Amino acid sequence: MRKKIIAGNWKMHKTVVEAKTLVGELKKAVGGVIDPVVLVCPPFTALTEVALVLKDSEIQIGGQNMHEADSGAFTGEISAEMLLTSGCSYVILGHSERRALFSETDKLVNTKGRKALDAGLIPIVCVGETLNQREDGVTEKVIEEQISGSLDSFSESDIMKTVIAYEPVWAIGTGKVATPEQAEEIHVFIRKLLAQKYGGETAEEITILYGGSVKSSNAVGLFEKKNIDGALIGGASLKADEFAAIVKAMM
């Protein structure tokens, strides 16, 4: 059975005090839920305090990014071990904002993914096409390149520990959600790519999340699709009642 996950990507939002309030509310609403896995990815500054609030709950914590080195002179960066020891069990890698604004390539995402797995973190590897690419009819080609580059040299046991998030760039933060059919089509395509590399049985086990303007009002239609195993949520994860409603839509 594939693991279902509802993940909140808070991006650069919430001070420590605000973060504690939000997870306190979430804990009350969905703190005991184990299926789906409920995951919050706060800014680095709030990780340890969030971990304290969530200590006796089932809610998991993730980083939004990490550096690929163990340690060193990398001003402003954070390592896998720092995430782990701050309470994280997941890390988002290759988010389209990292790719577009911080020039992250598939190769770098791959190196970070390798490091995350070696450290014992579950990588959530993000892929997705831009509006131009969709309009040019190259969506599948783009996804294929991102999947093969970002997951290059991942063994079968690596991929079994990895989560993939399909996030069409044109749907992120725009209010323009992909239709359940559009999302399912690419999820099926990603699973087919994984099946080619790892075999059908392994591909069936891999969690593929959809991300891009997911809200409680559109979540049910997405979650009804066979290959959509949950969501990576930005804006709607910043309000406890809205995020909890999305979690409940998956239960």
Q: Which residues bind ligand PGA (CB under 6 A)?
A: 9, 167, 172-173, 211-214, 232-236
Question: Whose Cβ is closer to ligand PGA: residue 97's or residue 106's?
Answer: 97
Question: Whose Cβ is closer to ligand PGA: residue 55's or residue 176's?
Answer: 176
CB 195 → ligand PGA: shortest distance, Å?
25
Question: Whose Cβ is closer to ligand PGA: residue 117's or residue 233's?
Answer: 233
Q: Verify whether residue 13 is a known catalytic residue.
A: no
CB 200 → ligand PGA: shortest distance, Å?
28
Please spell the DSSP secondary structure of 107-130, one letter per residue: HHHHHHHHHHHHHT-EEEEEE---
Residue whose tokens read 């990507």:
9
Question: Whose Cβ is closer to ligand PGA: residue 180's or residue 211's?
Answer: 211
- Please enumerate in sequence order all residues whose Cβ is within 8 A of that of 63, keeping only pairs 6 or more positions apart, or say none: 41, 44, 47, 78, 83, 88, 90, 91, 92, 121
Q: Verify whether residue 95 is a known catalytic residue.
A: yes
* Residue 191 Cα distances to 1, 70, 110, angstroms: 15, 32, 18
Which of 3, 6, 54, 7 minimizes the C-alpha distance to 26? 54
CB 191 → ligand PGA: shortest distance, Å?
20
CB 236 → ligand PGA: shortest distance, Å?
6
Q: Which residue in the list 97, 167, 184, 187 is annotated as catalytic?
A: 167
How far, in Å, CA of 148 to CA of 155, rounded?
Answer: 12
User: Which residues are catalytically annotated?
Assistant: 95, 167
